[in-house]
Amino acid sequence: MGQSIAGICVNNGFDTDGFDLGRELELEWKFQKKVSAETAFERHKKKGVYDVCFLENVTLILTELETGIWGRTSENMEVFSFVIQESTMTFSFKWSLNSKFEQRYFRVENDVVDDEVSIGEPLPIENLYKDYADLIEAQIKKTTGFSLIDFSDKEFYRFKWVGSEKLLQDIEYALRSGYFYKYMDSRLISSYTPEEQIRLFEIFHQYALENKVDVYHYMTLGNSEGIIPVETVFKSNYQGVIRILLENPETESVVKRYYTTKQTDWLFGIDPTDEKFYNKVLNDHLKTEENFIQNIEELKEEKKDKKWWEFWK
């Protein structure tokens, strides 16, 4: 029957929880269990199943054939994706170095290279081998420092593709990924438990204090290219969790420890032209250490000194 294997190898080590590796290669997966090398190297792996060997400075991911063909790249490290299917003489070779795009790619079907999908100039190693299986195994060793046989006695961790929606239901994942500083998502926030929403509020509040975010002022929605400033994304999510907590009699007291009714009314009915009321609200019963903007006039002067393009930074 010949050899049948597909995978991705990276010349970098990662924690075995798979978080950083998944983020680096855009694999929305979740850990399932540890498996033996014998299980990891089995033929006909199911779609969405990944068996990963984590070593100190290299990583090998064994996948099903489709993932091996499409492969992955990284702007930060060397990545080699491959397929060896000797029964049909199908091979795939995809290599990149510190690039989001493959720098060398070719696919072989029925022992014939498909020139229409080939990318990049041949690598020097390609001239050393006539057999595609031998070439791919040699590139695996060049990328990782190990041959496939060297991985045959190692421990593997099985992950399964679950998608971003399911991953984000775990608030620990959402926080660790910085999701709420990149995307507005009040729907996701509302799906969390009251305890998790309170935790989000406390984290957001601390972030606003430490970064002197003026949560009371109106938000800039985006520039001509549709790029929304990080501060606007944060404010939207922060105000979203405040609104949710206020609507729940069991959690509204958490918000009221930091905000007066006048202030929360302002947050959800901002009139950017009413600066007199804005200044009054800003300082309404706030403790000095909790006042995000100590001097609104200084803020205005700072903004006046900026060029128009600096407002998007």
* Domain boundaries of the chain, sorted by first residue: 4-162, 165-312
Digit-coded pLDDT (tens) for 4-56: 999 999 999 999 999 999 999 999 999 999 999 999 999 889 999 999 999 99
pLDDT of residue 282: 60
Identify any residues that bridge with 82 across adjacent strands, giving them in sequence order: 7, 93
Position 272 scores a pLDDT of 56
137-162 b/e with 16+ CB inside 10 Å = b?
bbbbbebbebebeebeeeebbbbeee
CB neighbours of residue 300 within 10 Å: 10
Q: Hey, is 33 helix, strand or coil? A: strand
- What is the per-residue pLDDT for 218? 61
Q: What is the pLDDT of residue 301?
A: 53
What does pTM read for this prediction? 0.81
Residues of the chain with pLDDT under 70: 1, 217-226, 270-274, 277-313
pLDDT at 220: 65
